[in-house]
Structure 1
Amino acid sequence: METTSLRDWKALAQSIIKGKEITYNEALQLLHVPDEEVLEVMNAAYLIRHHHYGKKVKLNMIINTKSGLCPEDCGYCSQSIVSEAPIDKYAWLTKEKIVEGAFEAQKRKAGTYCIVASGRRPTDKEVAHVVGAVKEIRQKTDLKICACLGFLTDDQAHELVEAGVHRYNHNLNTHADNYDNICSTHGYEDRVDTVTTSKKAGLSPCSGAIFGMGETNEQAVELAFQIKKLDADSIPCNFLVAVPGTPLEDKKALKPMQCLKLLAMMRFVNPTKEIRISGGREVNLRSLQPLGLFAANSIFVGDYLTTQGQEPTADWGLIEDLGFEIEECAL
């Protein structure tokens, strides 16, 4: 694709604010801009982001309530059955530990607490365990609760809603045509079905991508439009961390400038949605992390599932230095 002409990205952003939808070709052009045009693109993305979210940044904290022991063979994941990564493996944390994590989320100034468990799908007993913890958290805090437990039945989704879970995360991860390259134990449509099931039950859908797993730019754009079609309220943009011992351990980290282009593209395609810079932020964006928030309006604070994040104070400082504000949860 031609990368030499300078487009008026600001004009395109202003038209999107007025209700225009970006075309596939326009979105693809965002990923092909020369690096010297990236600041123009980020400035334009910020116009859209600021229109819908001002200078607010949402913080999310994740707790790994069940680590490893997963029968799925997702090539990117250190918790999968094929992974040889040296990670902690444990069954479910106690209800008390899950509740304690909610208080830690408040200390980190997070507004959303994400309860995550490895595995293909939860049993009814496991869902009841999460429900018990969520009910106590809802009684004691004003945190929004996001659950990520794998594939769900209709009844399980309704149980989570009744307990007070606000959101359900199930990422599409990669393009349908690339899915067989990263997983064989379930398919792309299984993930689409799970997002649909959670949404139908009344859970706010959270679904995003892991970039850097061999997808083409064309596939990245098509995935952004698929997420738009699903009407996901929150869109995590992960960047692959090639963990030693996983099938994708030899993948190279994306260049920071490409990460910025991907974040801008996701903002242009999904202008009104929460765009969250998620796993791999520190490794892939590196010193350009602050620029990512000109397109995104949300980040994780603290560690991820099996990889380390940076200290919460570093994220607070990053946000303050930008002149942005943390959208805090009430204590």
Structure 2
Amino acid sequence: MMSYWDHLAQKVIEGYQLSDNEALTILNSPDEELLQLLNGAYQIRKYYYGNKVKLNMIINTKSGACSENCGYCSQSRDSTAPIEKYRMMDKDSIVMGAERAHRLKSGTYCIVASGRGPTNRELQTVTTAVKEIKEKFDMKICACLGILSPEQAKELKKAGVDRYNHNINTSENHHDNITTSHSYEDRVHTVKKAKSAGISPCSGIIVGMKETKKDVVQMAKSLRELDADSIPVNFLHAIDGTLLEGTDELTPSYCLKVLALFRYINPTKEIRISGGREVNLRSLQPMGLYAANSIFIGDYLTTGGQEGTKDHQMLKDMGFEVDYEIAESTV
């Protein structure tokens, strides 16, 4: 007999959009129904993506000394976390990172830099590196450099950047509890600028920052409205020295319900299990891929990740296939 979650999944595949109450039902579902919920999410995931998993790798090209006051971030102006701080890497170092990502079969290489937005010199370093990476490797390039001007977005597109990441991070209602140095609208507008320049928009969230379940539902629906092609779902890894130090609200089962929620609400999109998966999903990490179809491999910005070889073994053990995408744009 088809379960409620299988029935709801079939409706989603047919074009149905969940109500707020139905979305909350996912987050409030009893743990006894978790496998049924994930099976429903997997039916949607399989319909659009089969058994393929997209791999992404980050390089933190500029660390610390950020003027923003994001409460979750070890690089913010208010953080006292003992992290490594350095100015923008040179072009050759960024290209070397791409070579490592290519060896680990990462289809997307994510060039990230701290700060409110890139200077002209930093943008030039990135665009020069992107052009060389495009010449050497068949991989997608995602840039995450903060708030952009329309002109900067066009420069990135011209260089060959396929995707631009700028996370909304939380709901509009909860935003001011997390940061006040920029607005929720600043983030939304940056995603739209990238899209207007012809770059695929990537925008995601962080769960576990003292938001409500209604906030989580609104995050998922806001990203559907933004039409983000790729949605990184991060789980707070509270770092000592940040404003959210000591916050520990998440359980592995709740994290899985969040991933299922995002699949039900954004059925056709790349849902990526991102930062904090190792410390929050713990032994249930593999189960997240029944809802999500993408993961980060390697380290994150200022925290370590699982070894890439272990990620590959996890995918092999589960019967998933690496989806090594060929970059769509050309220089």
How would you bin the TM-score normalised by the shorter chain? over 0.9
What is the percentage of aligned positions where both structures have the same residue? 60
Cα separation, 2, equivalents of 1:13 and 1:115: 35
Q: Which consecutive aligned stretches of 4+ in structure 1 deviate over 2 angstroms post-superposition?
A: 328-331
Alignment partner of 2:32 out of 33, 36, 44: 36
CA distance in 2, matches of 1:202, 1:125: 23
CA distance in 2 between counterparts of 1:104 and 1:23 reads 43
Contact 2:150 2:193 in 1 (8 A): yes
Equivalent residue number for residue 210 of structure 2: 214
Q: Distance in 2 between matches of 1:330 and 1:185?
A: 37
Q: In structure 1, what is the equivalent of residue 303 of structure 2?
A: 307
Contact 1:106/1:329 (8 A) holds in 2: no
| Cα distance, 1:253 vs structure 2 | 4.7
Establish whether residue 229 from structure 1 lines up as the match of residue 220 from structure 2: no
1:66 is matched with which residue: 52, 62, 68? 62
Matched, 1:246 2:242: yes
Which residue of structure 2 aligns with residue 148 of structure 1? 144
Deviations 1:79-102 (A, max 9, x none): 001111110000011100000000
Give the aligned CA root-mean-square deviation in angstroms: 1.3
Q: Are the aligned partners of 1:168 and 1:206 in contact in 2 as well (CA < 8 Å)?
A: yes
**Structure 1 residue 286 corresponds to structure 2 residue 286:** no
Q: Does 1:136 align with 2:154?
A: no
1:275 corresponds to which of 264, 271, 276: 271
Q: Which moved more, 1:304-313 or 1:21-30?
A: 21-30
Task: Say how many residue pairs are matched.
Answer: 326
TM-score (norm 1): 0.97
Task: Give the CA deviation at 1:11.
Answer: 0.8
Contact 1:48 1:267 survives alignment (8 Å): yes
Give the deviation of 1:180 after TM superposition: 1.1
Following superposition, the deviation at residue 325 of structure 1 comes to 0.7
Given that 1:111 and 1:328 are in contact with CA atoms closer than 8 Å, whether structure 2 keeps it comes out as yes
SS at 1:242 equivalent: coil
Residue 327 in 1 paired to residue 323 in 2? yes
Match of 1:170 among 158, 166, 169: 166
Deviation at 1:148, TM superposition (A): 0.2
Tell me the distance in 2 between the aligned counterparts of 1:7 and 1:325: 28
In structure 2, distance between residues paired with 1:209 and 1:304:
15
| Contact in 2 for aligned 1:241/1:253 (Cα 8 Å) | no
Alignment partners' CA distance in 2, 1:72 and 1:20: 39
> Following the alignment from structure 1 to structure 2, what is the Cα–Cα distance between the partners of residues 257 and 221?
17
**TM-score of the aligned structures, taking structure 2 as reference length:** 0.97
TM-aligned CA deviation for residue 328 of structure 1: 2.3
Aligned residue for 1:328, secondary structure, equals coil
Contact 1:195 1:207 in 2 (8 A): yes
Of 34, 58, 77, 1:81 maps to 77
Query: Counterpart of 2:283 in 1: which secondary structure?
Result: helix
The question of whether the paired residues in 1 share the 8 Å contact of 2:144 and 2:165 is answered with yes
Asked whether the equivalents of residues 52 and 272 of structure 1 are also in contact (C-alpha less than 8 Å), the reply is yes
- Asked if 1:55 corresponds to 2:51, the answer is yes
The aligned counterpart of 1:3 is: none
Unaligned runs of 5+ in 1: 1-5
